[in-house]
Structure 1
Amino acid sequence: MSLISTPSHQERGHRADQESTPRHVAVIPDGNRRWARAHGHSPLDVHRRGGEKVLEFLTWCQDITGLTTVTLWPLSTENIHRPAAHVDALVQVIADTTQTIADTGRWRIRYLGTPHCLPPRITRALDTAAEQTRRLDRPVVNIAIAYGGRDEILRSFQALITSHQQAGTLDHLIQHLSPDDISKHLDTAGQPDPDLVIRAAGEQRLSGFMPWQTTYAEHYFCPTPWPAFTKADLDTALTWYSNRARTYGL
């Protein structure tokens, strides 16, 4: 039994026609603290600037033809173990920024990760913003909060096994387990996988960001820290992407 799934020749040909621009752009908005230290700003100031940059970035993304999904990763499972004052300031900015996104009426908000591990006032605010956009026929913006890739895959397996255990079909699952079974239980179920991952601030690693979904994504490592990220940086990433020959491992 093979667990490896690759696109058919016909599907690859169709994708090639569409791939001058990505359908799904995922972003690791890194470099905030380094930028703050270099410019003499407080952590709270840089969090606010990072939130403002998210709003700018989404405005730029509206001009990308064929784009259906944007994913942003402002808080990892590791980040929540930083000093409480730092985390409190960051999650408040995330909640405020998310509400501002909802108020634009231009995006449908979804969450990845485990945002309900945050303080109740924050989770209530996040839920309100998502509910406000739930019925919108708009591109999706995923906000990954208290997110880690291994945690997501673990939760996917737990949900998958539990559903089959309750249905009495574990033996069937063991015999017929496929990648689609796992994908259907990920936080991004029903969405296209990222085509382009942009990491700001120059670090050349994904740090556990969407490991299942980014198997065939193109990874662009931008040297600019997130607070200083510009539309020119995005345009450079998109131009770089348009020149990539995507082979999906073949």
Structure 2
Amino acid sequence: MVREWLSVLRLGKHKNNSPEVEDLYKSLDSDKMPVHIAIIMDGNGRWATRRGLPRALGHRAGVESLREIVKTCSSLGVGFLTVYAFSTENWKRPAEEVTTLMDLLVEYLNKELKELHHNNVRVKTIGRIDELPAKARDALEVAAAETSQNTGLTLNLALNYGGRNEITEAVKQIGRDASAGVLNPDDIDENIISKYLYTAGMPDPDLLIRPSGEQRISNFLLWQAAYAEFWYCPVLWPDFRRKHLLEAVIDYQNRQRRFGGLHHSKK
């Protein structure tokens, strides 16, 4: 108990923490921290519209939330943070907005790479990255190469990502390998399929967070989120801060994860 208390105090110590946030840190159980957190970063456009601002400013405000959440997850010792940054369906948005999103991605990586590297964060991507603009691909490649040897938080940027597309591509490759004799069809099981997904080698998410009041998965990590704990809140992503993340983690820690079985309490 003493070790756990000291650990939480160390992680929570921050000059900008409010008393409420400090209390949340003290409520954390450092032994029950989720290994993998996934977040659908939703509500940027609505945040801007409600303020009479261009949608682009909503996306820019959302970057500030991402910055704070990455820092918080890193300090908590979370192993993986996967954020839904741009879906395969987002190409349907106006070209100007898509360009803004890609420019913000490059800007974020250029500005934050040094600090991410300093904080031992490893940057990775999932999705059809080859279809992104060249400047975005280049920035992602630089970030991945620069941080490849880091051993702290793995930040997965889901870009041009769609869960159905991911599974479809995995099935195609499994079929090719089976036809080529590389894979015996009788050996195909859940573990084999997982190895063909973008997230191969990573644990499935323990906690999936969706702000903005929406309560749907939106084609995100369809296979991997089979037993994730879901946490929703009405706060739009640009207003999502450390406080909300801690509330989600504490709620997660108070749940009983049964994975389809029964929970047997100890008498």
Q: Give the match for residue 12 of structure 2.
A: none
The answer to whether structure 1 residue 129 and structure 2 residue 143 are counterparts is yes
Task: For residues 8-46 of structure 1, give each alpha carbon's deviation from its aligned partner in whole angstroms, at most 9, with x where no partner exists.
Answer: xxxxxxxxx987220000000101111110112212211
Distance 2:248 2:255 in 1: 11
User: Does the 8 Å CA contact 1:110/1:142 hold for their aligned counterparts?
Assistant: yes
What is aligned with 1:11? Answer: none
Who is 2:6 aligned against? Answer: none
Q: What SS is found at the alignment partner of 1:22? A: coil
Match of 1:86 among 88, 97, 101: 97
Distance 1:198 1:19 in 2: 20
Does residue 64 of structure 2 align to residue 52 of structure 1?
yes
Match of 2:54 among 8, 26, 42: 42
Contact 2:39/2:210 (8 A) holds in 1: yes
Q: Deviations over 1:130-169 (max 9, x none)?
A: 1111122222110000100001111111222223333x25
Shift of 1:221: 0.6
Contact kept in structure 2, 1:218 and 1:241, CA below 8 Å: yes
Structure 2 residue 262 is the aligned partner of structure 1 residue 248: no
Distance 1:145 1:178, change over 3 A: same
1:117 aligns with 2:131: yes
Find the residue that maps to 2:155 and give its secondary structure: strand
Residue pairs, 1:95-106, within 5 angstroms: 95-104=106-115, 105=117, 106=119
- State the partner residue of 2:79: 68
Structure-2 residue corresponding to 1:201? 212
Moved more, 187-196 or 132-141: 132-141
C-alpha contact (below 8 Å) 2:166/2:198 kept by paired residues: yes
On the 8 A contact 1:109/1:142 being kept in 2, the answer is: yes
TM-score (norm 1): 0.87
Alpha-carbon offset, residue 100 of structure 1: 3.4
RMSD over aligned Cα atoms: 1.6
Where 2:146 maps in the other structure, the secondary structure is helix
Instruction: Report how far residue 98 of structure 1 moved.
Output: 2.9
Identity %: 37
The TM-score, its normalising length taken from structure 2, stands at 0.82
Q: How does 1:128-167 map to 2 (within 5 A)?
A: 128-166=142-180
Q: Deviations over 1:99-154 (max 9, x none)?
A: 33432113111101112211112211211111111122222110000100001111
Larger CA deviation: 25-34 vs 48-57: 48-57
Would you say the 8 A contact 1:23–1:69 is kept in 2? Answer: yes
Which residue of 1 is the match for residue 231 of structure 2?
A: 220
5+ residue gaps, structure 2: 1-28, 262-267
2:124 partner SS: strand
Query: How many residue pairs were aligned?
Result: 230
The structure-2 alpha-carbon separation of the partners of 1:217 and 1:207, relative to structure 1 and needing over 3 Å to count, comes to same
The answer to whether the 8 A contact 1:200-1:226 is kept is yes
